[in-house]
Structure 1
Amino acid sequence: MAHTVNADSVPLVVHIIYALGTGGLENGLVNIINRSPPGRYRHAIVCLSHAEDFARRVTANDVEVVELHKRPGHDPGMYWRLWRTLRRLRPAIVHTRNLAALETQALGLLMPGCRRVHGEHGRDVSDLDGSNPKYRWLRRALRPLIHRFIAVSRDLADWLVDSVGIPAPKVTQIYNGVDHQRFTARWQAGTTGSGPATAVPRCWPADVPAGFAAGGDCRVIGSVGRLAAVKDQRQILRALQHIFAAHPEQRAGLRCILVGDGPERRTLETEIEALQLDDCVWLAGDREDIPALLACMDIFLLPSLGEGISNTILEAMAIGLPVVATRVGGNPELVQDGVTGRLVPVADAAALGEATVALLRDPALCEAMGRAAIERVQRDFDWERTVADYLRVYDELLQRPRLQPATGGN
């Protein structure tokens, strides 16, 4: 449907990212665009490299997606293509995200009337603690050109101020949200109280591997996310190996689902074969039915080496799963140890395995943690609130009148 307002009078926000593929950063960007009220801001996405099928999830009207096809390494031609694109689009705001897009803010010197925002969504595996001198120098060199930094966690916001040296007034912390209509609690309504809860029956997808779901009493652990080194899904496989060695009674009835795809898939396939876990681990690949797959699980695992704010943890909590995650980045801001899940050390498969077994052996504790997780997410994490906070930053930078919070998408 065409907007009734003159498009030229609506400020354009150009979002610059490395690639538009499966990931938490990209999921957050798409949610912000789709849920922005029509006529408030226009949006365009510039991918320094390419856009994958994930781009189809952009459902808002008139969102242009530009691919610059950056070559590996240093590609001077990419900057020329980006400059020509920005000159054509004439944005009111340029919003870059993460280190891969940060250096493009240097083009701000050639765009004096444009306001500039940079988002920190989590650090790369090559700079997990944010101490890399080259990257820190780059952030400091570009900070005068950037009008506002947005961090998705308090951990990242504190790091920007205390370690990078960004003035605190230039840093805004905004949490991601959860789509509460899509990710609904797996516990049936009316089961709160002292009596036993009734969980929605496990409903396996049609393409589950033969024999994987054998036995209605199996327990399922799993994870959702890009198969990348920073997510360290290998620790889940090693935790399974530990569980089966230390607690052999778990072997017959424990299953694991790893949802997602990425550069580490081949490594994980090799590890599954080497550890002889073929019969109990399902690499499900990229999926559209994430809520259904989460509902098949009993415990959600996230053994990341580093993390901003995990959308998948929030989604698992919204479903009602206890979460076992590493104590890194923004994870402790989501997972309350002993209340909504457990926090374990990084790269410690034994600790991950033992925390998982403790929950498997205590269904009542799993239920209590799942209910606490649902309550926390419903209270504190909502995409409409997140979108309103982002639009408020844009309004402040353009000195626009404060409007009502976002109330829905296109």
Structure 2
Amino acid sequence: MNAPLPKLAAQAADGADGGRPLVVHVVHSLSMGGLETLLVDCINRMPAERYRHAVVCLTGYSDFADNITRPDVTLHALGKPPGLGLGTHLTFWRLMRRLRPTVLHTYNLSALEYAFTAACAGVPVRIHAEHGRDASDPHGLNAKHNLLRRLLVPFVDRYIPVSEDLDRWLDQVVRIPRASTLFIKNGVDTDKFAPRAFPAGAAPGGSPWHADDFVIGTVARVQDVKNHRALVEAFAAVRARRPDLAPRLKLSIVGDGPLLPAVRAQVAALGLEDAVWLPGARGDVKDLLHTFSLFALPSLAEGTPVSLLEAMACGLPVAASRVGGIPEVVDDGVQGALVPVGDVDALAAALERYAADPRLGRTHGAAGRARIEERFSMRAMLASYGDLYDSLCRRKAR
């Protein structure tokens, strides 16, 4: 985690607000990731005249926070240590008493318990979003965690699942009352993320590959749940069994995370340094997506991954795990290929199929773009969150 950003850390919470309610978003940390990208996009795109925003990071944040373009947004890092971090609750309570927000919006399990602390601090509206499950509990069966979710129902006005899979899980496994949940699909900016054509023979910038290479790409935080090592293994298998394709087969793994050194070591051990690019976190994801021929996401668990939506909006076919909310976005054989979770051979077969038949990729990519435009727009998502904030504020805020 980089040092705090002075320009944000120094901002005061006070000042003219024009009567706009303050929404405090609570996340574990703010660095490159799908959830974090969605959060930043929501803050930047919500009408500034309706709500003010602040972000509370339980641990810290990186220079990814520079993507927040609204000048009135405050950012707070609590420096929570590993474990329970009971002292962080006191720090958070004091911060809520100072900021006095109208809405608390927490994200994923690590932030959920702070809904209770916010209630004690007098925050009237409290919303919790579930964006996916952890690799250590991909099916969401951890009894202790689910008990916590149920115990906090009196302190959470709405639980927000972002996929039909998570909606069913909250209902049938966690047993959150239906009246306490609202399904809101993730959305993507289809103007920002769109197909882009290059002149014949021209290579798109931003990556080391050439225009005639077939580039398998992924954008995700490098951690267990994203299963990058399976992607590297499948990529190596395709190159080994298809020497005719191998010279132009390339792999781009964009993102940072705790397992990046291990993935670099795996690539080196397989002798693939000349064919695999691992640049770490990048601020030009939109441009890098245009250097991909195929988007791959072999995750062990997912909600509705924002990176997948962005890739499909750019007209890319996908090869992904049949897990979580991914099958709600991708029809197997229509917008891409879905493979069983953890099945490296099936993943390799999907990668090979697209590398050998570029026309298939173009057909599936066009279908993917149409699917995103039809069902996963940023406009619809923002309207849903805005309507929820408005209705709860009218009912609960004084």
TM-score, normalised on structure 2?
Answer: 0.92
Alignment of 1:271 onto 2:231: no
From 107, 116, 123, give the equivalent of 2:126: 116
State the shift of 1:292 in Å.
2.0
From the superposition, tell whether residues 276 and 380 of structure 1 become closer, same or farther in structure 2 (CA, over 3 Å): same
From the superposition, tell whether residues 390 and 109 of structure 1 become closer, same or farther in structure 2 (CA, over 3 Å): closer
Alignment of 1:177 onto 2:148: no
Q: Which residue of structure 2 lines up, in the alignment, with residue 224 of structure 1?
A: 219
State the shift of 1:187 in Å.
4.4
Q: Which residue of structure 2 lines up, in the alignment, with residue 376 of structure 1?
A: 371
Alignment of 1:308 onto 2:331: no
Q: Which residue of structure 2 lines up, in the alignment, with residue 408 of structure 1?
A: none
Deviations, residues 373-394 of structure 1 (Å, cap 9, x unaligned): 1111122222122111101111
From 110, 130, 135, give the equivalent of 1:125: 135
Letter in 2 for 1:217: D
Q: Is the 8 A contact 1:239 1:353 kept in 2?
A: yes
From 328, 339, 343, give the equivalent of 2:338: 343
Q: Which residue of structure 2 lines up, in the alignment, with residue 194 of structure 1?
A: none
Q: Is the 8 A contact 1:98 1:119 kept in 2?
A: yes
Distance in structure 2 (CA, Å) of the matches to 1:47 and 1:199: 46
TM-score, normalised on structure 1?
Answer: 0.89
Letter in 1 for 2:156: I
Q: Is the 8 A contact 2:153 2:180 kept in 1?
A: no
State the shift of 1:370 in Å.
0.8
Q: Which residue of structure 2 lines up, in the alignment, with residue 233 of structure 1?
A: 228
Distance in structure 2 (CA, Å) of the matches to 1:184 and 1:221: 18
Q: Percent identity?
A: 43
From the superposition, tell whether residues 201 and 381 of structure 1 become closer, same or farther in structure 2 (CA, over 3 Å): farther
Where 1:125 maps in the other structure, the secondary structure is coil
Distance in structure 2 (CA, Å) of the matches to 1:186 and 1:234: 30
Where 1:119 maps in the other structure, the secondary structure is strand
Q: Is the 8 A contact 2:100 2:123 kept in 1?
A: no
Where 2:257 maps in the other structure, the secondary structure is coil
Alignment of 1:20 onto 2:40: no
State the shift of 1:262 in Å.
0.9
State the shift of 1:61 in Å.
3.2
From 59, 63, 67, give the equivalent of 2:73: 63
Q: Which residue of structure 1 lines up, in the alignment, with residue 11 of structure 2?
A: none
Distance in structure 1 (CA, Å) of the matches to 2:264 and 2:77: 31
From the superposition, tell whether residues 299 and 199 of structure 1 become closer, same or farther in structure 2 (CA, over 3 Å): farther
Distance in structure 2 (CA, Å) of the matches to 1:178 and 1:105: 27
From the superposition, tell whether residues 221 and 75 of structure 1 become closer, same or farther in structure 2 (CA, over 3 Å): same
Q: Is the 8 A contact 2:93 2:117 kept in 1?
A: yes
Distance in structure 2 (CA, Å) of the matches to 1:24 and 1:238: 24
Alignment of 1:242 onto 2:264: no
Superposed, 1:185-200 pairs within 5 Å as 185-187=195-197
Alignment of 1:395 onto 2:394: no
Q: Which residue of structure 1 lines up, in the alignment, with residue 203 of structure 2?
A: 202
Letter in 2 for 1:331: I
Letter in 2 for 1:370: G
State the shift of 1:111 in Å.
3.7
Distance in structure 2 (CA, Å) of the matches to 1:262 and 1:50: 14
- Where does the alignment leave 5 or more consecutive residues of structure 2 unmatched? 1-14
From 46, 58, 75, give the equivalent of 2:85: 75
Distance in structure 1 (CA, Å) of the matches to 2:349 and 2:267: 20
Distance in structure 1 (CA, Å) of the matches to 2:297 and 2:46: 30
From 93, 96, 112, give the equivalent of 2:106: 96
Q: Which residue of structure 2 lines up, in the alignment, with residue 299 of structure 1?
A: 294
Where 2:136 maps in the other structure, the secondary structure is helix
Moved more, 388-397 or 99-108: 99-108
Letter in 2 for 1:283: L
From 122, 128, 135, give the equivalent of 2:145: 135
Q: Is the 8 A contact 2:96 2:123 kept in 1?
A: no
Alignment of 1:325 onto 2:320: yes
Q: Is the 8 A contact 1:186 1:200 kept in 2?
A: no
Q: How many residues align?
A: 381
Please report the RMSD computed on the Cα atoms of aligned residues, expressed in angstroms: 1.8
From the superposition, tell whether residues 159 and 90 of structure 1 become closer, same or farther in structure 2 (CA, over 3 Å): same
Alignment of 1:168 onto 2:181: no
Distance in structure 1 (CA, Å) of the matches to 2:287 and 2:16: 41
Distance in structure 1 (CA, Å) of the matches to 2:85 and 2:356: 54
Letter in 2 for 1:181: D
Letter in 2 for 1:73: G
State the shift of 1:230 in Å.
0.6
Deviations, residues 244-265 of structure 1 (Å, cap 9, x unaligned): 2322322222111111111111
Letter in 1 for 2:336: G
Distance in structure 1 (CA, Å) of the matches to 2:248 and 2:120: 62
State the shift of 1:101 in Å.
0.5
State the shift of 1:34 in Å.
0.7
Distance in structure 1 (CA, Å) of the matches to 2:325 and 2:222: 19
State the shift of 1:141 in Å.
0.9
